Amino acid sequence: MKEAGVLITMPWDGGEIHEPTVQCVHCGAHHVVEAAFKRAVLGQLGFCAKCNGITCGEKCQKCVPAEKQLEVMEGTVDLTDVSVGVLWPIT
């Protein structure tokens, strides 16, 4: 998994905790790598073969990449023009 970002938390006792994150290729949501690995083992995260990346699972089941979602929101592309790829849970 390629790191997509860093979640920085600051506990009450001081200091900073830096945790790498991975990003869903469909909605752009970030998942902490350690937690994402556990969720992948449990089959709660998915993988899109068309986009070649991790997805949020059932929530992002349709293959609508983040860039395409922005185009739909802008009104430059109709959602019916979007093709659905093959998705399966990571097991």
Number of H helices, E strands in the chain: 2, 6
Yes or no: say if 25 and 32 are a contact pair by the CB < 8 Å rule: no
Q: Which residues, 6+ apart, have CB-to-CB distance to 83 below 8 Å?
A: 63
pLDDT digits (tens, 9 = 90+) for 67-79: 777 777 787 766 6
What Rg do the C-alpha atoms of the chain give, in angstroms? 15
Distance in angstroms (rounded) separating the CA atoms of residues 49 and 79: 20
pLDDT digits (tens, 9 = 90+) for 6-55: 888 888 888 888 888 888 888 888 888 877 777 776 667 888 888 888 88
Is the pTM value of this prediction over 0.95?
Answer: no
Yes or no: say if 47 and 53 are a contact pair by the CB < 8 Å rule: yes
Domain that holds residue 30: 5-89
| Residue length of the chain | 91
What is the total count of domains within the chain? Answer: 1
